[in-house]
Structure 1
Amino acid sequence: MSLKPVIYVFIFLIQVAVFSQEEPVKSYTLNQCISLALENNLNLKSTELNANSADVNFKQSKANLLPTLNGNYNIGVNNGRSIDPFTNSYINQELTFSNANLNLDATIFNGFRLLNSVKQDKFNKQASDMEIEEAKQDLILRVTLAYLQVLNSRDVLELSKKRLIATNEQLKRQEDLYNEEVGNPADYADIIGQKSMDETNILTSKSALNNAKLNLVRILNLQDGFTIDTKDLIMGLEGYPYSSEEVYIDALQNLATFKAKDLRIKAAKKGISVAKSQFVPEISVFGQLNTNYSSAAETFTETGSRVVETSDFVVSGGQNLSVFTNQTEFNSQKINYSDQFDNNLNTVIGLSVNVPLFNGFRAKNDVALQKIQLEESLIELERTQQNIKNAIDQVHFDMEAAFLRYQSLLKQVEAYKESFRINEIRFNNGASNFLAYITSKNNLDNSQTNLANAKYEYFLRVIVLEYYRGESFSSI
C-alpha cells in the first residue's frame, strides 16, 4: 500500500487543526469603536500630554508663592599667601578651609505678579482640559463618520452582490434558451456582458469597503482586522427638528472648543497683568545662617613666664646695658572642626527693595507682546465662531437636501421595482427584448444604490449637526 495518500491526509488534517485554532475576527459595535479610539488614538494622547504639562506649570506657579530655602557647603585646601578665615589676617601657609550657609528668601510684594501668574496658569490648565474634551468630541465624530462610511460601503457591496445573483439567474435561463436555439442569441451574449459588469462592480464595492475599513482602523490605531456590529446602532429617517440657528446656539453653549478659547482669552488678560508687574518695585525679606572652619585656627593656654633679653639697651656709667623683660609663655592647640562650626555661627536678616528704573524697555515690550497675544486669542475665537457658523449652515442645507433626495429616491425605487417586475415577466415570456429588460434592471439597481448613498449622506450630516449641538450620537 502506498504511503502517499496517508501523508496527504495527515497534512490536510494538520492544516485544518491549525486554521481551526486561529482567533476569530473581532466584531465591534460603534460604542466599542469609540472606546477603542479614546484609548488608542495617538493624537488624543499627545493632547493629554500637553494638558499634563499645563497642570505641572500650574502647580509650579502655586509653589512659587512659597519662600525659597537653600543651603551651601564647601571644603578645600589653600596654598600660599591668603587670608585666614578665622583671624582675617594674612598668612603664608597651607590651610584647610570650610564654609556653610543657609539662605532664606521670601517675596512680600511684587505687583501681584505671582498671584496673577497662578491665575494665568490656572486658566491655561482649564483650557488644556477643555482641549482634551474638544479632541475627544472630534475623535468621536471622526469614528462615527468612518463607521457609517463602512456601513454605507457594506450596503452598496450587498446590493452589488444581489445584482450579480439576479444576473446569474437570468444567465441560466438565457443559457438554456441558447442551448435549445430558442430566442435571440444576442440576448445570451448581452447577459454574459452584464455579468462581467456586475462582477466588476462587486470588485469596486469591495475596494471601497476595504478603504473605508482601513480609514477606521487608522483612527482606532488597531493592528488586527475586524468586522462591525450594528446591534447598538438605531437609525431612523425622520425630519431633523432643529434649525441651523438653533444648532449654532447650542454649539456656543456646549462645544469644548469655544470654552477652551474663552479660557485662553482669560489667560491672556492675566498675562498682561503679569507683564505690568515689572513696573512695580519688588519687596522681599531675606535671612542667612553662616559658619566657617580654618585649619589655622588655634587656642593658646598660658603655661608660665621667663626672663628674656630684648634688643634694647640703656647706657649707665658709660656702658651699654641690655634690657631684660618678663615674657609669658603659651601652649597652642588646634580648634577642632565641630567646635569652630559652633563658635563661628552668625545670622543675617534684612529687607530688600528692588526698584525697576531702566531695563531696556523690556517691561514695556513684554506688556505689548501680551496685548498682542490677547488680540490673537480674541481673533481666534471670532474665527472659530465664523467657521463653525458657516459649517453648520452648509451641513444643515446639505442635510435637508439629502433628506428630500432620499424621499424622492424612495418613490423612484418603488417605481423602478414595478417597472422591472413587468419587464422581467415580459422578457421571460418573449414579449420584450433584452434592451428593455436590462435598462429596467439597471435603473432599479442604480436607484437602490443611490437610495443607500442618500440615506447615509443624511445620517452623516445629522451626526455632524448633533456633534455641534454637543449631543451624543452613538445611536440615531
Structure 2
Amino acid sequence: MRPQRPLRRLCHGLALSLAMSGAHSESLMEIYDLAVGNDPAIQRAEANHAAALEALPQSTANFLPSLNLSASKSESSQTVTKSIFGSTGSSNFSNTNYSLNLNLPLYRHENYVARRLAKSTVSRADAEYEAARQDLLLRVAEAYFSVLGRRDDLEFARAEKMAIKRQLEQTRQRFDVGLVAITDVHESQARYDLTVAEEILARNRLDNSIEVLRTLTGTYNEELDPLNETFSLVHPDPEDIEQWTRTALKQNPSLVAALAAVDEARENVAQQRSGHYPTLDLSASSSYNESGGLFASTTENTSIGLNFNLPIYAGGRTSSQVRQSLHFLEAARQSLEEARRNTQRQVRDAYLGVISGISRVKALKQALLSNQSALRAAEAGYEVGTRTTVDVLLARRNLFSAQRNYAQSRYDYILNTLRLKQAAGMLDVQSLQAINNWLH
C-alpha cells in the first residue's frame, strides 16, 4: 500500500529539519558502540566479571606449597663481669639469622570444596556478565526509541500548534466579517493556548529522554536516524509461546546466574562443614644462626615433618557457620524460584506484546487514515456552514493524537521483539543490527 501524503509530508519534514541542522545523525549501532565504551553499568559488570574469574587461580593456589624466607641481623653489646669460665670483659658483636620454611597441604578437605566453589562462582559471574550485556542492548534500544518517540511528539505538537494558529487566524477573519460568533474565536484561542503548553511539555520530555541516553553514551546525542516509514511486522519465530518459555528456562542468563548461585551456596555449606575435618600438612624448614660475643656460636638446623590437626571444639562457631550457610542456601533457592517465575512472566508479556503490537500497528494506521478523512470532512463542512469551529478543532486534535499513537506503536512493537529475545536469552548484537537496518 502506498503511504498517504500527510504521512509522507511529516517524514519529509523531519528529514528536512535534520538536514538543515547540518549535524550528523547517529544510527542505533553507533549509539550502541558509544554505550559499550562509556556506560558505567557495563563497565562495572566487566570489572566484576574479571574479579570473579580470579577465584579459580586462588583456589588452585590452595593445593600448592608455600615457601617463606625470613632473615634478621642485629648488633649487640655485651659486658661480662663474672663468669664460671673465667672470661670477663666487653665486646660488640652481630647476630645473624636465616630461615627457610616450606609448607605443603597434603589433605585439607576445604581446599577441594573451595575449588568447586570457585567454579560455581565463575559460572555465576559468566551468566551475570551475559545478562548485563543483553541488558545493555535493550537499554540502548529503549533509550534510542524513547528519543525518537519524544521527538515525534514534539514535531506533532509543533505541527498541531501551527495548524491551530492558522485556524485561529481564519476564525478571527471570519468573525471580523460577521460569519462566526465570538465564541468560535474563544474556542480557537483556548485550543491554541493548550497546544503552546503541550509543545513546552513535549520539549521537556525530549530533553529528559536525551539525558537518559547521555547516561549510556557519556555524550549528548540529539540527532538520531529515524525509523523507516515502512518495515516488516514479523511474528515471533517460532509462533509458540510455550516453546519460547522452554527456551527461556534453559538459557535466560539471569536464570542461569540464579541457578549457579544455588550451586555456589551449596558448596559454601560444604566449605563450612569442612571446619570439622582434620588437616594434614607436610612442613620442612632450614635455619642458620650465628651469634658473636664471648659465647659465640654458629648453628644450622634442618627439619621435616607432618603436621596433623583435628578440630575438637571451637566454641560452637563451626556449627553456627554451617547453620548460617544453610539459611543462605535456602535464600538462594527462593531467589532461583523467583527468577524462574519472573522469566516466565517476561516471556509471556513480551510475546503477547509482539502479537498484539502487530495488530495495534495495523489498527492505528487505519485509524490514522480515518482521522485524515474525518478532518477533511470537518473542514469541508465548516466551509459550507454545516460544521462548527469546535468540530474542526476536535477533528484536528484526533488526527494528531492518531499520528502520535501510530508512531509510538511501531516503537513499542520493536522493543517488545527485543524484550522477547532478551527473556529467552537470545538477544545479541545481530538482533540490534537487524533493527538498525530499519532506520535511515
Residue 337 of structure 2 corresponds to residue 382 of structure 1: yes
The one-letter code of the counterpart of 1:215 is V
The one-letter code of the counterpart of 2:108 is N
Q: 2:54 is paired with a residue of what secondary structure?
A: helix
Aligned residue among 420, 427, 431 for 1:471: 427
Q: 2:105 is paired with a residue of what secondary structure?
A: strand
Q: Distance in 1 between matches of 2:233 and 2:276?
A: 64
Q: Can you list the C-alpha shifts for 1:95-148, whole angstroms capped at 9, x where unaligned?
A: 53222111111111123x213212211221232122122112112212211211
Change (3 A) 1:51 1:92: farther
Which of the pair is proportionally richer in strand? Answer: 1
Aligned residue among 336, 361, 377 for 2:316: 361
Q: 2:368 is paired with a residue of what secondary structure?
A: helix
Change (3 A) 1:445 1:364: same
Residue 410 of structure 2 corresponds to residue 452 of structure 1: no
Question: 1:226 corresponds to which residue?
Answer: 222
Change (3 A) 1:362 1:43: same
Change (3 A) 1:198 1:465: same
Q: Distance in 2 between matches of 1:150 and 1:413?
A: 22
Question: 1:279 corresponds to which residue?
Answer: 276
Measured after TM superposition, the shift of residue 24 of structure 1 is 6.9
Q: 2:320 is paired with a residue of what secondary structure?
A: helix
RMSD, matched Cα: 3.2
Q: Can you list the C-alpha shifts for 1:35-82, whole angstroms capped at 9, x where unaligned?
A: 222211222222322223322333222122111111111122455699
Residue 323 of structure 2 corresponds to residue 372 of structure 1: no
Q: Which runs of 5+ in 2 are unaligned?
A: 1-20, 81-86, 436-440
Q: 2:419 is paired with a residue of what secondary structure?
A: helix
Aligned residue among 180, 189, 210 for 1:184: 180
Question: 1:315 corresponds to which residue?
Answer: none
Q: Distance in 2 between matches of 1:437 and 1:269?
A: 70
Change (3 A) 1:47 1:233: farther
The one-letter code of the counterpart of 2:31 is C
Q: Distance in 2 between matches of 1:411 and 1:278?
A: 72
Q: Distance in 1 between matches of 2:116 and 2:374?
A: 72
Q: Distance in 2 between matches of 1:32 and 1:276?
A: 52
Q: Distance in 2 between matches of 1:195 and 1:212?
A: 26
Identity %: 22
Q: In the alignment, is the contact (CA less than 8 A) between 1:100 and 1:292 conserved in 2?
A: yes
Q: 1:153 is paired with a residue of what secondary structure?
A: helix
Question: 1:216 corresponds to which residue?
Answer: 213
Q: Can you list the C-alpha shifts for 1:185-230, whole angstroms capped at 9, x where unaligned?
A: 534554444333333332222222222211221233x244532124
Change (3 A) 1:233 1:109: farther
Q: Distance in 1 between matches of 2:88 and 2:108?
A: 46
| Corresponding residue pairs, total | 403
Q: Distance in 2 between matches of 1:195 and 1:45?
A: 48
Aligned residue among 60, 73, 80 for 1:75: 73
Change (3 A) 1:209 1:49: same
The one-letter code of the counterpart of 2:408 is N
Change (3 A) 1:91 1:359: farther
- More deviation in 241-250 or 259-268? 241-250
Question: 2:346 corresponds to which residue?
Answer: 391
Change (3 A) 1:200 1:91: farther
Q: Distance in 2 between matches of 1:432 and 1:355?
A: 98
Q: In the alignment, is the contact (CA less than 8 A) between 2:143 and 2:209 conserved in 1?
A: yes
Measured after TM superposition, the shift of residue 381 of structure 1 is 0.9
The one-letter code of the counterpart of 1:471 is L
The one-letter code of the counterpart of 2:391 is A
Question: 1:439 corresponds to which residue?
Answer: 394
Q: 2:391 is paired with a residue of what secondary structure?
A: helix
Question: 1:35 corresponds to which residue?
Answer: 33
Q: TM-score, normalised by structure 1?
A: 0.75
Measured after TM superposition, the shift of residue 176 of structure 1 is 5.0
- More deviation in 190-199 or 279-288? 190-199
Q: 2:102 is paired with a residue of what secondary structure?
A: strand
Measured after TM superposition, the shift of residue 239 of structure 1 is 4.2
Q: Distance in 1 between matches of 2:94 and 2:387?
A: 119
Q: In the alignment, is the contact (CA less than 8 A) between 2:368 and 2:402 conserved in 1?
A: yes
Change (3 A) 1:389 1:75: same
Measured after TM superposition, the shift of residue 174 of structure 1 is 4.3
Aligned residue among 247, 257, 260 for 2:257: 260
Q: Distance in 2 between matches of 1:92 and 1:59?
A: 58
Change (3 A) 1:354 1:177: same
Measured after TM superposition, the shift of residue 292 of structure 1 is 1.1
Q: Distance in 2 between matches of 1:423 and 1:24?
A: 39
The one-letter code of the counterpart of 2:348 is D
Which of the pair is proportionally richer in helix? Answer: 2
Q: 1:237 is paired with a residue of what secondary structure?
A: coil
The one-letter code of the counterpart of 1:34 is Y
Residue 108 of structure 2 corresponds to residue 152 of structure 1: no
Q: Distance in 2 between matches of 1:74 and 1:232?
A: 78
Residue 87 of structure 2 corresponds to residue 131 of structure 1: no
Q: 2:134 is paired with a residue of what secondary structure?
A: helix
Q: 1:27 is paired with a residue of what secondary structure?
A: coil
The one-letter code of the counterpart of 1:62 is T
Change (3 A) 1:433 1:96: closer
Measured after TM superposition, the shift of residue 384 of structure 1 is 0.7
1:48-63 alignment, distance < 5 Å: 48-63=46-61
Aligned residue among 288, 291, 294 for 1:291: 288
Q: Distance in 2 between matches of 1:293 and 1:277?
A: 43
Change (3 A) 1:249 1:42: same
**Which structure has the larger Rg over C-alpha atoms?**
1
Q: Can you list the C-alpha shifts for 1:280-333, whole angstroms capped at 9, x where unaligned?
A: 3211111111111121267xxxxxxxxxxxxxxxxxxxxxxxxxxxxxxxxxxx
Q: Distance in 1 between matches of 2:29 and 2:228?
A: 8
Residue 248 of structure 2 corresponds to residue 251 of structure 1: yes
Change (3 A) 1:462 1:225: closer
